[in-house]
Amino acid sequence: MSNTLILQSLKEMTDLVVNCPSCNTLVAWVTSNRHRPFCSDRCRILDLGEWAVGKRGLPADAEYYDVKSEKLNEE
């Protein structure tokens, strides 16, 4: 592979742009952007926080399964 071809494919890669999943800002998909696909560390943490909050909605189900398993242990 010639150097020109490698440089060309590298340029195509750096031209890739994605939307930040948190705030929808256009983010360049480059190796120098360690927050990708997010635009910043703040957005990355924000998204992780939302994910954690979503997980907290589950305890109702977990309780139900706990009661069930307790009953099974009694029998």
- Contacts with Zn ion by CB under 5 A lie at 20, 22-23, 25, 39, 43
CB of 48 to Zn ion, least distance (A): 13
Find tokens 């440089």 and name the residue: 7
b/e map 15-24, b = 16+ CB within 10 Å: eeeeebebee
CB of 34 to Zn ion, least distance (A): 14
44 near 38, Cβ under 8 Å? yes
CB of 27 to Zn ion, least distance (A): 7
Choice between 14 and 23, CB closer to Zn ion = 23
